[in-house]
Amino acid sequence: MLLCLNNRRNRFSWVGGLLAMEALDKIDHKILSLLLDDGRASFSAIAQEVKLTDVAIKKRVERLKRRGIINSVSADLNLKALGYENPVFVQIRSELSKNRDVIKKLRELDYVLELYQVLGEYNIFAKLVVPDLDSAEKFVDRLGTLDGVLDIKTLVVISEVKKSKALPSFSLQKTLE
């Protein structure tokens, strides 16, 4: 299972004249770590690991959801087993005046799994999942014909080297100092 984290609705407070995010404690980090490892872990299994009651874990998980730290819990699919190629990443440079329209069109396309607006030479970054490279080529050609698209670069993944579900260890250290 995959646990998606979201930081849009975290609580903030003023610390030393600066706006700071409310820190998570060691238990919250352990709960997140366990859920990232197994999104279907029961509250009682997590409670045994962190030495709290399952009711306390349930309350903490609900609080993490309310704060927007846990966005969702979903399945982490093996796309190869489902007959898809490795992902194809696409960098798109669009006319700034037509950027919103391009993004709207890209959101509607089936092969587009993820879509990001980015800074740099290219202003849109997309992750595609396609059944084969021939389909990828045709799809990328189609993207090039969208009104407002100026240039496209593609990156075809040949192998996945690392895919971590763990939080960086420094994040726990920073929040506990």
Six-digit token pair at 128? 């595609």
19 — pLDDT class (breaks 50, 70, 90): very low
User: Contacts from 95-104 at CB under 8 Å and sequence distance 24+?
Assistant: 95/148, 95/150, 96/123, 97/148, 98/147, 98/148, 99/123, 99/124, 99/148, 101/147, 101/148, 102/146, 102/147, 102/148, 102/149
Domain 2-76, CATH among 3.30.70.20, 1.10.260.40, 1.10.10.10, 3.40.50.300: 1.10.10.10
32 — pLDDT class (breaks 50, 70, 90): very high
Percent of the chain surpassing pLDDT 70: 82
Six-digit token pair at 103? 């993004």
The answer to whether 67 and 10 have CB atoms below 8 angstroms apart is: yes
Mean pLDDT lowest among 43-52, 69-78, 106-115: 69-78
Residue 23 has pLDDT above 80, yes or no: no
Residue 3 has pLDDT above 60, yes or no: no
165 — pLDDT class (breaks 50, 70, 90): confident
* Nearest to 67, CA basis, from 20, 14, 4, 7: 7
| pLDDT computed for residue 171 by the predictor | 55
Tell me the backbone φ, ψ of residue 65, rounded to 5 degrees.
Answer: -70, -45
Six-digit token pair at 118? 């980015």
CATH fold of the domain at 88-156: Alpha-Beta Plaits (3.30.70)
Give pTM, 2 decimals. Answer: 0.74
User: Rounded to an integer, what distance in angstroms lies between the CA atom of residue 75 and that of residue 85?
Assistant: 19
Question: In the chain, what are the domain boundaries?
Answer: 2-76, 88-156
